[in-house]
Amino acid sequence: MPIAEQNLIDAFERIPVSIFPNPAEGSRAAANIIAQTLRARAAENKPCVLGLATGSTMIALYAELVRLHREEGLSFAHAVTFNLDEYYPIDRNAFQSYWQFMHRHLFRHVDINPANIHIPDGRLPKSELKAHCAAYEAAIVAAGGIDLQVLGIGHNGHIGFNEPGSSIHSRTRLINLEQDTRIANAFEFANPGEVPRLALTMGLSTILSARRILLMAWSGGKARIVRRAVEGAVSESVPASLLQQHPDCTFILDDAAATELTRHRSPWLTGEVEWTPEMIRRAVVNMALERDKPILSLTNNDYNEYGLSDLLAEQGDAYAINLDVYYMLRDCITGWPGGKPGSLPSHPERPEPWPKRVVLFSPHPDDDIISMGGTFRRLHEQGHEVHVAYQTSGNIAVTDEFVIRHLDFAEGFESIAAGSNERSASAIREVREYLAQKAPHELDSPLVRSLKGLIRRCEARATCRYVGLPERQVHFMDLPFYETGTIEKAPMGPADIELTKKLLEEVRPHQVFAAGDLADPHGTHKVCLDIIFEALRQLKEAGADWIKDCRLWLYKGAWQEWSVEETDMAVPMSPGQVLEKRHGIFMHQSQKDIVPFQGNDAREFWQRAEERNAATANLFAQLGLTRYAALESFRRWEF
């Protein structure tokens, strides 16, 4: 690529950015850089000092480093490591401790000298922390400084645990964690109240002293803060933006995390683009929203001032372009998500066959009603054969307190029921005794996990009964990848894919709805979607005849929504239908009030759903379309 063209593409970026199609490829690229650094220092017979990070972003990176060690002989014998941070207080044996994380994912699988591993100690008395932090800084200096520092980025721009407002001159220290950070990290703990309020972290000055820095970010949930860090002003209110001042820092992103960068969001500002209908829709919608005008009111001056003069030159007068985009948006709105008999070709879903067989995949036992509850009810009420497939048990999202509440009911029922079952009574005693002695951060026993899964299964059945779905059309898949008993899940495996293929072959659907929201904080949605993609791919390669007449629609989950320009089908809801959806969400009582894994959003799921659906409706109205109470958005995916 010519230098001039490259400079134009990344002209708005103040930090070098490397973008990869997915986290796996990005992780491999980062691992190769680390491997090159290790080998170069080993060739010089010198230690290689690595600054390491934790969190879900790093799991694939460490897995690739372990693979390189086992299969390609990458040695860590010369490595000296310093971890960014650790919760405080926390015992090293706690599953959530970063000491455990690092040993679980990297250290116990490679040939590193344990004496060369440095992780802040969350066990020390507070009176010893100041000296401990000073010693940590001294150890970094004694090792010769950090050669390569690996970072992730928080939703508020923190690096390490340096929250917004941290001084650029800060060193390793004890720090208060903001509530947003604690909520975002709650997925690692049984409930938000268990997340420590303090942490030990390297300071910004410590991080910026590294000779080279790699920052990794995956998923659309990080896209906005990545843009602020890369293209925004340098400010301590966005700690990651301070990396603009580092002489050798690179951001490694997947496509989703890069979507807010100017090169992706407004590529016409960085060079020539191919003006496809999708690109035109994106440009005109963004222009209308930014200028706060209905689409049909945009003028030639608006196009010129927004940097779209090339579009005018290619397509002609603004009014003609406005009409095309207006019709695109108008035609994606439908009250018939399964297709309407006799509808025009512009309808988002084909009218035939009628009625359709539909599979609605729900990663957790409540994503169906939260994300597309109005559409779910419409599909059933309009006569389609709707099958709901709950992909995982969702057991880790049930609090111990909620289990005890059910135990109280079960014991009370048995005390008044004739012929009480001794086996069930024994199981109740076992669970109650286990929870009574369960240590903080301890993993659940298989029996407790089964009970928590049963609670969520009963809630999901209640929702399906509320919608009116026959029992035979409700499927609990319990995909094996999820059943680790921990927050961290296994990769998808052949058993997950075979179970999904079996269900699809049984139903032979005309429509598949699946969760395309990859901002789920513990990654379950991403794995569930990958399993569906792989199952469909294998069925297509095997010649499944029904696939050619099947369409895949992606909904977003509880954390995000499709933007207007991404939406291929929008299903409206009346105020009454919004209330019906809320009642369906309320069936999931274990997820109300305190959301165990809510990410960086403190609202309950029903609040998120209602506000998100209303916001989508308001955006369409702002663009000049009919105003509805709420809209659920979907994107068609070609497979």
Indicate which residues carry an active-site annotation.
Answer: 163
Q: Strands of 85-88's sheet, edge to edge? A: 85-88, 198-201, 173-176
* CB neighbour list of residue 429: distance below 8 Å, 6 or more residues apart: none
The pairing of strands 630-637 and 551-555 is: antiparallel
Of 214, 188, 2, which is closest to residue 87 (Cα–Cα)? 188
User: 248 — phi, psi (to 5°)?
Assistant: -145, 70
CA distance to 121, 127, 137, 579, per residue, from 131 (Å): 12, 9, 10, 57
Beta-ladder partners of 150: 214
**Tokens 């006569």 correspond to what residue?**
383
CA distance to 10, 80, 200, 536, 586, per residue, from 83 (Å): 31, 10, 10, 41, 42
Instruction: Please state, in angstroms and rounded to a whole number, the distance separating the CA atoms of residues 206 and 152.
Output: 15
Asked if 97 and 89 touch (Cβ cutoff 8 Å), the reply is no
- DSSP 3-state assignment of 96? coil
Asked if 468 and 323 touch (Cβ cutoff 8 Å), the reply is no
Tokens of 348: 């988002």
- DSSP 3-state assignment of 483? coil
Burial class, 26, CB count within 10 angstroms (exposed 0-12 / middle 13-18 / buried 19+) = buried
Tokens of 122: 């969350």
**Tokens 């990176």 correspond to what residue?**
61
Q: Which helix (H) or strand (E) element contains residue 636?
A: strand 630-637
Spell out a b/e string for 183-221, using b for 16 or more CB atoms within 10 Å of the CB, else e: bbbbbbbbbbeebbebbbbbbbbbbbbbebbbbbbbbbb
Tokens of 398: 């049930």
